[in-house]
Amino acid sequence: MTFNPDLYQASLETLIDNGVPENVASAASAVVAKDDPHQENLGRTEKDQQVVDEAVGHMNRYWQGQSNE
């Protein structure tokens, strides 16, 4: 697995800008930055996927709140 620092940084900034707490955004971005398109489920473990799912949940709640304003 290769770590892509540019992808990590882009993901981190996007997640934080969209309401994800920094610690969750950092963890999810680390997962995304080492995704391998040649592996099943991008090479993610169950724990990796849980971290990404947590970030998505935060983003969904953020955007749901934005649409209610």
Residue 12 pLDDT grade (very low, low, confident, very high; cuts 50, 70, 90): very high
Distance CA(67)–CA(4), nearest Å, equals: 33
31 burial via Cβ count (<10 Å: 0-12, 13-18, 19+): buried
Task: Give me the phi and psi of 37, to 5 degrees please.
Answer: -65, -10
Instruction: Using the predicted structure, report yes or no on whether residue 2 has a pLDDT greater than 70.
Output: yes
Say if residue 66's pLDDT is above 90. Answer: no
Determine the pLDDT at residue 69: 65
User: Would you say 42 and 35 are in contact if contact means Cβ atoms under 8 Å apart?
Assistant: yes
Q: What is the pTM of this model?
A: 0.90
Q: Residue 67: which pLDDT band, with cuts at 50, 70 and 90?
A: confident
Pick from 24, 32, 40, 46: nearest CA to 4: 32
